Chains A and B, each alone.
Chain A
């Protein structure tokens, strides 16, 4: 327990007076080997924390890009076990970079919560973001995860008012993920000032780092958000670039580098923010 990788990562960024950069990859997209290579390349390309998407047949909070990637992964035989294996393999090469799994509850529920948590711990997973588990359902996975020493990272949104925020913060750990828009992944941020205001509002109520995701597409977007937020999450644009690099739906020898190149430029944006 002494080695809380998430905490350490944020401390390191704080010492460097910058926000943390968190890229996302859908496990098994376009195939397991390519997604593994991209994940393995993330830290060197500037990732402070890595988010790994667990594919789900019905991702209600995701836009068409991430949904389609998940469906491709599933079609290629991706399973929750294989996603755990992917992280375990990463962990053998990198013992420092925190890994967060992001997805929906049903595959975990069917895997079995206790079984999942012990496998996740073994694989070296540091935190979970489960979109369809609000505070009202904390008994399902949040509390067991905290007990197992895995952070449960909660989403807060523009609809989370001050009263609601207290409920949301109650069993949150690791960091707070502020969803910059009401909408699905891959949408566009309409108003940066409002995001800044929301980040400040949340920070006034918690000691936890506050990170922002949904709608960050360019190094310039990242730069603006990273001025005030403790972390910046980028997902859809990476999956889109990866998708565009495919030939006949298959990865080419350039696919991994094309994604990592974007990650480098986004990481640079984050580092230039302050």
Chain B
């Protein structure tokens, strides 16, 4: 009986080739193959190395400030008049988002592998800041690729990265967003194979990145299970997270995949609306499977297989793909993915700020908008947890612009 349930577990992926069902894989240039095989090998070893795990765990608690609190959003709950709403407060982490969880895990790996130079891509700049932070902490040189459009709309984060000692390279190809930053980071990696470690920020890319990043982020879900049982004596009825590449979402979802009574919701970037061509970044709700950046996954693309730029008010969600495990979970029906428009996210951003005194990142505000839709449809005894994945200080300027306020 137990074996059978294990066999049917949604948590078994990926297989040894990095496939989650038909998604995932290792679609990279030959130059990079030996590097990702070496990484996979080293990660497998590190996973079972108590010293590595102890070091990571100590950093998580003393450097990041884990566990992140589980907070009951009482005023929001009362306002919406439905399910009890909780926030898993990843925005309180050092550097202001969940991104640090993954960066610490990977920087320790890079050190183990003797790598002396770190590169990363960033959209909103949260991953760039987290990467620059761990590089400062471990004394490694750091190059961050960031789309030119994002450099502009996330200026505070660009300066933070520079203060932390990182070199920020602005990428003007394409629309100058996360996709273009990732292309450029891959080009750097293919050129500097001898000393460079590519610290990917989301649960996407070639195997082993999607599984590895998920594992580092799964601490969110593990903590939540324990905290929630303590407070409510049961598991939550629903968990909501925003989806760009999907690392905060897979981090909070993963441990609950086989607890079918827990409904899981992913909020994609609906931009101007799915009906607007190239006006959103909802790759699962509005795209189809394809191959990009090392993995097969849902992508925004035209009928000739050319990748579209996509659009979102949130730089962190403005990516035409998604982690392969999410594509798998979409097709399996386990997670409900739905788009949230720029407008809905902006409204949620303001509601949260006013009612709870918490300024959420625009990314997390997408999740919040989903919660706002969901909570009133649920009973008062029911519960929802939002992964409040990042704080919104970086977005104040963008929000001001949309509200017609000059800062």
Contacts and interface: CB of A to CB of B under 8 A. Distances in A.
Partners in one complex: yes
Interface of A: 56-58, 60-61, 63, 67, 74, 79-80, 104-111, 131-137, 154-161, 164, 168, 179, 182-184, 187
A136 B191 contact: no
Interface of B: 17, 25-35, 173-174, 179, 183, 186-187, 190-194, 290-294, 299, 301, 303-307
A109 B305 contact: yes
A105 B34 contact: no
B17 A136 contact: yes
A137 B33 CA distance: 11
A134 B291 contact: no
Contact of A57 (B17, B32, B186, B306): B306
28 contacts: A57-B306, A58-B179, A58-B183, A60-B29, A60-B187, A80-B304, A105-B27, A106-B299, A107-B304, A109-B305, A111-B304, A131-B29, A132-B27, A133-B27, A134-B27, A134-B29, A135-B33, A137-B25, A155-B31, A159-B30, A159-B31, A159-B33, A164-B33, A182-B192, A182-B193, A183-B190, A183-B191, A184-B191
B304 A110 contact: yes
Contacts of B307: 57-58, 106
- Which of A74, A109, A159 counts the most chain B CB atoms within 10 A? A159
A218 B329 CA distance: 52
Given A61-B29, A106-B299, A155-B31, 13 more contacts: A56-B306, A74-B306, A106-B292, A109-B305, A132-B29, A135-B33, A137-B25, A155-B30, A159-B34, A179-B31, A182-B193, A182-B194, A184-B190
Contacts of A168: 30
A16 B272 CA distance: 63
Contacts of A58: 174, 179, 183, 292-293, 307
B113 to A, nearest CB: 15
Contact of B190 (A67, A106, A156, A182): A182
Contact of A161 (B34, B191, B194): B34
Contacts of B25: 136-137
A60 B180 CA distance: 10
A38 to B, nearest CB: 22
B183 A159 contact: no
B31 A157 contact: yes
Contacts of A155: 29-31
Contacts of A134: 26-30, 33
Nearest to B179: A58
A164 B34 contact: yes
A93 B32 CA distance: 39
